[in-house]
């Protein structure tokens, strides 16, 4: 029994006063002993006065307190023993003593008669902080004479008379009355004179029984208990009064749904005083709702039913306690409502522990309606507010579901947590593209990325909200009820979802039903076949084209006409581009990258609004050299719409003028209508003139002719070159030489991730130097890298790498990746592929060549190479030797669209004539006759 105060306040005015109000002087020596707060100050009683009975210690001893509680939380008290009486003694189990007969009955009678009531006292004497005298109880209505408790106690046989050696005249007269009452009680064989009486067989929780057994025995019914002692405002020691195996069992009770401050904290003593005056030494009904099994001495969690209401709710109203999330989850959501409301009232009034409470301020809007455009994770959404023009990414709201914790998606080497994908996909199905209402409950600082060298970490202020979609008042509740997400465990007093208690309830139901993440079964393993790799894409392209209409969902949008799709039926992801129209290139994610084309960002935003993360249908028609599947896409409900038509109607796409005659007339009409309305692309005269230029023999990307020198040969038709005379190579070599002088060859700390450009060591046989390298993949402790200024590939470890500086990471590569135009050579795992690479090396290595650059496709240059001393191209030499074959007519048509069609057509026809000669001569790949166009043959290239 303690109080808090570094400087105790003066005791309130009244009959009882504190024996000493001088505060103890705090020094360094005694500061460490303050873990156990002092007892309430002992009161100095006058000869007579009024007081309230706070507690009953035994059948003849009580604790008196001032009639007016101390507003500062610690009311003076005094121990008062009924003089001239001797009641049976209660046993102390830890001391090895047992009750004397009738001791419990005597105490219970005195507690029932006096606890919580105002009485009159007369002090006869005092000794060792204890007072002796007579107590008088207010008489029943209609009577004037107060009831003498001492006399009544003896008359009912709850105590015997204790003789006095030298009583005074007044005491002698009073003793005569007591002895007469005792004689009558003996004659009637009452109480201690009956020869019988209750002797408790006390049991201690944790020693004689387990608390969980007690909770199970109670079975949710109301059980009578006696409140023996209050540790603080919400923890009490109780004894069971019900008949049965647990009668007189002693246990610690934790008040359900509520937690008061510790006694040495602010308002801790206020909370204890509050419950002392209302619960201590009373017989009450409690309902067991669970136990705190993680505690060292686990208490039983109960609801205490006071005749005048719920004591937990009353504590919350006064601000002497806060809602405890740990035990509130054991209550039903309907029951917790009263607790939340009571705590809300205390916060509003800034009462008790909430005296410094500040209502959280929400930056920006607190409520909004809008359209959900994207699901980032299983609990985070991107929303376009209603009435906002989506002309910039900053107009979007990033919202996380309040009090929801979804499984985390992985990244890099880190795998997804179980059910992370299922949770995100379910949220996508529930809300993407639909109207929603957002109610912001609170905000949080969310760490973004790893901490910097100085230990600081970038943070994002995120709105946590309850989001309703259609008839679903809280989509987070749906995820939790299906076992796909959990409920965030908040600290006591922390802001949370306005729907928090319902979320906890449905989570309990999902856990009981063992749904999804709560199931003991192994979680599903999601292994998706990623066809973004050109080799894999080419292997599957024929199958996808033969499959007809494919159902897919759009996972990511790169540009208005280029996307990443997931095809559930085939369990694969593909890169997909519309074949019927083109859109401008958007701005790159890298701020140092090349600026986007006009209206490229607008086209991407349009696609994001209408097909982002939606279910679509696609028809695969072709495949680019970079592994991008081309085809048509259809969106909408029962009546599907060609998405290319939507882009063209908005003026965010165009049809290549060379395909106008072969393109669907409706698409042409859509583009012409957008032109007439001067929408977006067509609002600029130069863009309109360029797109509507008349058909001419030469078009597409203009050809370039450069003198080059090959730096790396990958196979028979893929290689890297340096442009002769370009200062880029010399500049980069000088920069890397300086880099070596500054850093030596010692490694440095590097955050390894795919496509990161760093410095990697390479030994060319003469020295070990630093070269710029891009990480392609990782395997254990080694990393596969591409040396971007030369084109060769190698493997390095972390001890051979360090970060680049001075902007070298973003300087364009000195070596350009190339491919011989219009021809294909087999891969190096075939004999003909090795022979093709050797022939190309013998024709080109170490020589200055003339490169006729037709166009760029997927970052590679498509070229025709010439040795200045030989008018026949290297492309033709490989075909002539039977070590390369000419591409198909369809592939040549696509190349012609991107370059000069007439020039490409002329080269294509010449190569076909050369190929026919090699085929007839049975050279190279033609040794066994014609080469087909089946999937097995495609896999060779």
With tokens 């410094």, the residue in question is 356
> For the domain bounded by 727-813, which CATH number is listed?
2.30.30.140
In this predicted structure, the answer to whether residue 937 has a pLDDT above a threshold of 60 is no
The end-to-end CA distance of the chain, in Å, is 85
Among 113-122, 387-396, 801-810, which stretch is predicted with the lowest mean pLDDT?
801-810
pLDDT of 1 > 80? The answer is no
Contact by Cβ (8 Å): 255, 304: yes
User: pLDDT band at residue 13, thresholds of 50, 70 and 90?
Assistant: very low
pLDDT digits (tens, 9 = 90+) for 37-67: 456 677 788 889 999 999 999 999 999 988 8
Is 669 in a helix, a strand, or coil? helix
Please, which pLDDT band fits residue 700 given cuts at 50, 70 and 90? Answer: low
pLDDT greater than 90 at residue 771 = yes
Q: Determine whether 824 is exposed, middle or buried from the number of CB atoms within 10 Å of its CB (0-12, 13-18, 19+).
A: buried
- Taking the domains of the chain in order of start, what are their residue ranges? 17-193, 203-354, 377-449+459-485+514-518, 529-691, 696-709+817-941, 727-813
pLDDT value at 688 more than 60: no
The pLDDT tens digits of the residues spanning 385-401 come to 998 999 888 899 999 99
Angstrom distance (rounded) from CA 90 to CA 103: 6
What is the rounded CA–CA span in Å between residue 62 and residue 60? Answer: 7
Q: Which of 34, 36, 45 is nearest to 11 (CA)?
A: 45
pLDDT in tens, 136-147: 998 888 778 899
Number of C-beta neighbours around residue 309 at 10 A: 12
Rounded alpha-carbon distances, angstroms, from residue 804 to 512, 593, 801: 54, 17, 9
Token reading at 801: 């790498």
Q: Classify strands 77-82 and 130-137 as parallel, antiparallel or unpaired.
A: parallel
Helix (H, G, I), strand (E, B) or coil at 441: strand
Q: Which two tokens stand for residue 123?
A: 């002090």
> What region does 744 belong to: left with phi over 0, alpha with psi -120 to 50, or beta?
left
- pLDDT tens figures, 710-729: 999 999 999 999 999 888 88
Mean pLDDT of the chain: 85
Angle formed at CA 546 by CA 542 and CA 549, multiple of 5 degrees:
125
Sequence-separated (6 or more) residues with CB below 8 Å from residue 10: 21
Which range, of 50-54, 198-202, 548-552, 785-789, averages the lowest pLDDT? 198-202
CB 889 within 8 A of CB 692: no
Reported CATH class of domain 529-691: mainly beta
CATH for the 203-354 domain, from 2.40.50.90, 3.50.80.10, 3.40.50.720, 3.30.413.10: 2.40.50.90
What token pair was written down for 383? 């929303």
Q: What is the mean pLDDT of residues 878-906?
A: 83
For residues 538 and 620, is the Cβ–Cβ distance under 8 A? no
Q: What is the mean pLDDT of residues 1-9?
A: 33
Q: How confident is residue 194, by pLDDT bands cut at 50, 70 and 90?
A: confident
Tokens encoding 149? 């408790």
Task: Quickly state the pLDDT bin for 657 (edges 50, 70, 90).
Answer: low
Q: What is the DSSP letter of 472?
A: B
Q: What is the CATH number of domain 696-709+817-941?
A: 2.40.50.90
Query: Per DSSP, what are the bridge partners of residue 818?
Result: 719, 861
**Crossing angle of the two packed helices 901-920 and 889-898, in degrees rounded to 10:** 150
**pLDDT value of position 45:** 85
* Average pLDDT score over residue span 412-441: 90
Q: What is the mean pLDDT of residues 542-562?
A: 92
Residue 380 CB neighbour total at 10 angstroms: 18
Residue 505, SS3 per DSSP: helix
Task: Report helix, strand or coil for 10.
Answer: coil
User: What is the model's pLDDT at position 751?
Assistant: 82
CA distance 467 to 460: 20
Each residue of 12-42: b (16+ CB within 10 Å) or e?
bebbbbbeeeeeeeeeeeeeeeeeebbebbb
| Residue 325 burial (10 A CB sphere; 0-12, 13-18, 19+) | buried
Q: By three-state DSSP, how is residue 149 classified?
A: helix
Asked if 587 and 612 touch (Cβ cutoff 8 Å), the reply is: no
Do 374 and 612 meet the contact criterion of CB atoms below 8 Å apart? yes
User: How does 62-79 read in b/e, with b if 16+ C-beta sit within 10 Å?
Assistant: bbbbbbebbebbbbbbbb
Q: pLDDT at residue 796 above 90?
A: yes
**pLDDT value for 166:** 66
Rounded Cα gap, residues 245 and 217, in angstroms: 9
| Beta pairing class for 529-530 and 572-578 | parallel
> Would the pLDDT of 31 be above 60?
no
Nearest to 776 by CA among 802, 758, 790: 758
Q: What is the fold of 17-193?
A: OB fold (Dihydrolipoamide Acetyltransferase, E2P) (2.40.50)
**286: exposed, middle or buried (C-beta count within 10 Å: 0-12, 13-18, 19+)?**
buried
Place of tokens 């059910």: 419
Domain topology for 377-449+459-485+514-518: OB fold (Dihydrolipoamide Acetyltransferase, E2P) (2.40.50)
Distances (CA, A) of 535 to 370, 540, 938: 42, 9, 10
Q: Crossing angle, helix 268-279 and helix 311-318, to 10 degrees?
A: 150
pLDDT digits (tens, 9 = 90+) for 286-320: 999 999 876 567 899 999 998 888 899 999 999 99
Ramachandran angles phi, psi of 467, nearest 5°: -115, 125
pLDDT digits over 736-768, tens only?
998 898 888 888 888 888 889 999 999 888 889
With CA atoms as reference, report the closest residue to 128 among 66, 61, 54, 68.
Answer: 61
- Give the list of residues 6+ apart from residue 680 with CB closer than 8 angstroms, or none: 599, 602, 650, 651, 652, 674
Strands 309-310 vs 572-578: parallel, antiparallel or unpaired: unpaired
Tell me whether the CATH fold assigned to 696-709+817-941 matches the one assigned to 727-813: no
SS3 (DSSP) at 874: helix
Q: Going by DSSP bridges, is the β-strand pair 704-713/849-857 parallel, antiparallel, or unpaired?
A: antiparallel
Tell me the sheet residues that pair with 466: 439
Tokens of residue 440, six digits? 């912001």
CA 145 vs CA 82, 114, 511, 781: distances in Å: 19, 17, 64, 95
Alpha carbon of 503 to those of 184, 564, 604, 746: distances in Å?
Answer: 65, 35, 37, 54
Q: What DSSP state is assigned to residue 205?
A: B
Residues sharing a CB contact under 8 Å with residue 121, sequence separation 6 or more, in sequence order: 45, 48, 49, 50, 51, 64, 80, 131, 133, 134, 135, 136
Are 863 and 851 in contact by the 8 Å Cβ rule? The answer is: yes
Q: At what angle do helices 333-349 and 311-318 cross, to 10 degrees?
A: 20
């Amino acid at each position: 029994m303690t109080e808090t105060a570094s400087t105790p306040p003066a005791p309130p005015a009244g009959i009882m006063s504190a024996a000493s109000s001088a505060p103890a002087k705090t020094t360094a020596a005694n500061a460490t002993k303050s873990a156990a707060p002092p007892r309430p100050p002992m009161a100095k009683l006058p000869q007579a006065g009024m007081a309230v009975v706070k507690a009953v210690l035994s059948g003849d001893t009580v604790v008196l307190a001032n009639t007016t509680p101390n507003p500062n939380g610690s009311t003076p008290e005094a121990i008062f023993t009924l003089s001239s009486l001797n009641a049976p003694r209660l046993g102390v189990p830890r001391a090895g003593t047992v009750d004397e007969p009738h001791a419990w009955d005597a105490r219970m009678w005195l507690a029932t008669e006096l606890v919580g009531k105002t009485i009159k006292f007369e002090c006869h004497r005092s000794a060792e902080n204890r007072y002796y005298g007579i107590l008088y109880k207010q008489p029943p209505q209609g009577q004037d004479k107060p009831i003498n408790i001492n006399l009544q106690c003896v008359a009912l046989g709850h105590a015997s008379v204790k003789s006095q050696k030298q009583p005074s005249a007044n005491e002698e007269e009073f003793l005569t009355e007591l002895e007469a009452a005792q004689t009558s009680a003996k004659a009637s064989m009452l109480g201690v004179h009956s020869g019988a009486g209750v002797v408790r067989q006390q049991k201690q929780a944790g020693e004689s029984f387990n608390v969980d057994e007690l909770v199970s025995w109670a079975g949710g019914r109301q059980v009578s208990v006696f409140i023996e002692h209050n540790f603080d405002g919400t923890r009490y020691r109780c004894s069971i009064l019900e008949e049965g195996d647990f009668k007189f069992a002693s246990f610690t009770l934790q008040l359900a749904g509520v937690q008061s401050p510790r006694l040495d904290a602010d308002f801790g003593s206020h909370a204890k005083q509050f419950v002392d005056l209302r619960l201590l030494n009373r017989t009450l009904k409690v309902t067991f709702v669970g136990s705190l099994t993680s505690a060292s001495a686990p208490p039983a969690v109960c609801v205490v039913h006071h005749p005048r209401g719920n004591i937990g709710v009353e504590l919350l109203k006064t601000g002497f306690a806060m809602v405890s999330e740990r035990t509130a989850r054991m209550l039903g959501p309907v029951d917790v409502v009263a607790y939340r409301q009571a705590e809300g009232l205390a916060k509003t009034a800034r009462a008790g522990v909430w005296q410094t409470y500040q209502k959280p301020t929400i930056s920006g809007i607190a409520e909004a309606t809008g359209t959900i455009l994207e699901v980032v994770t299983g609990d985070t959404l991107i929303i376009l507010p209603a009435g906002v023009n989506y002309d910039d990414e900053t107009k979007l709201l990033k919202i996380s579901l309040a009090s929801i914790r979804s499984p985390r998606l992985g990244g890099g080497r880190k795998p997804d947590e179980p059910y992370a994908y299922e949770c995100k996909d379910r949220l996508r199905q529930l809300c993407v593209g639909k109207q929603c209402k957002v109610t912001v409950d609170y905000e949080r600082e969310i760490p973004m990325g790893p901490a910097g060298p100085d230990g600081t970490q970038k943070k994002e202020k995120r709105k946590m909200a309850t989001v309703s979609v259609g008839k679903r008042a809280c989509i987070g509740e749906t995820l939790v009820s299906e076992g796909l997400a959990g409920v965030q465990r908040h600290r006591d007093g922390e802001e949370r979802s306005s729907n928090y208690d319902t979320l906890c309830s449905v989570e309990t139901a999902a856990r009981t039903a063992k749904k999804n993440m709560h199931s003991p079964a192994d979680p599903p393993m999601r292994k998706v076949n990623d066809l973004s790799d050109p080799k894999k894409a080419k292997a599957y392209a024929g199958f996808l084209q033969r499959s007809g209409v494919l159902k897919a969902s759009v996972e990511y949008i790169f540009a208005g006409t280029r996307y990443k799709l997931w095809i559930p039926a085939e369990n694969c992801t593909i890169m997909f581009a519309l074949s019927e129209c083109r859109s401008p290139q958007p701005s790159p994610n890298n701020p140092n990258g090349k600026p986007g084309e006009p209206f490229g960002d607008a086209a991407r935003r349009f696609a994001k609004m209408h097909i982002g993360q939606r279910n679509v249908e696609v028809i695969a028609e072709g495949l680019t050299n970079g592994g991008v599947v081309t085809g048509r896409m259809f969106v909408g409900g029962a009546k599907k719409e060609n998405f290319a038509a939507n882009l063209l109607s908005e003026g965010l796409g165009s049809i290549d003028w060379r395909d106008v005659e072969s393109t669907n007339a409706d698409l042409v009409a859509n583009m012409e209508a957008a032109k007439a309305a001067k929408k977006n692309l067509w609002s600029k005269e130069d863009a309109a003139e360029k797109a509507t230029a008349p058909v001419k023999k030469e078009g597409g990307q203009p050809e370039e002719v450069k003198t080059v020198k090959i730096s790396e040969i990958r196979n028979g038709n893929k290689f890297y070159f340096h442009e002769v005379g370009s200062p880029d190579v010399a500049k980069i070599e000088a920069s890397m030489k300086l880099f070596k002088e500054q850093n030596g060859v010692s490694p440095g700390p590097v955050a390894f991730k795919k496509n990161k450009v760093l410095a990697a060591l390479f030994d060319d046989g003469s020295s070990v130097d630093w070269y710029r390298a891009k990480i392609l993949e990782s395997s254990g402790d080694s990393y596969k890298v591409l040396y971007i200024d030369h084109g060769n590939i190698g493997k390095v470890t972390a001890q051979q790498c360090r970060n680049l500086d001075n902007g070298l990471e973003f300087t364009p590569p000195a070596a350009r990746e190339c491919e011989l135009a219009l021809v294909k050579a087999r891969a190096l795992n075939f004999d003909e592929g090795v022979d093709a690479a050797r022939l190309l090396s013998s024709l080109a290595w170490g020589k200055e060549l003339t490169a006729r650059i037709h166009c760029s496709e997927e970052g590679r240059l498509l070229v025709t190479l010439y040795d200045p001393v030989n008018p026949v191209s290297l492309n033709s030499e490989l075909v002539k030797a039977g070590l390369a074959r000419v591409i198909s007519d369809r592939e040549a048509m696509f190349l012609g669209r991107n370059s000069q069609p007439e020039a490409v057509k002329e080269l294509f026809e010449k190569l076909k004539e050369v190929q026919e000669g090699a085929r007839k001569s049975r050279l190279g790949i033609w040794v066994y006759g014609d080469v087909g166009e089946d999937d097995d043959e495609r896999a060779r290239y």
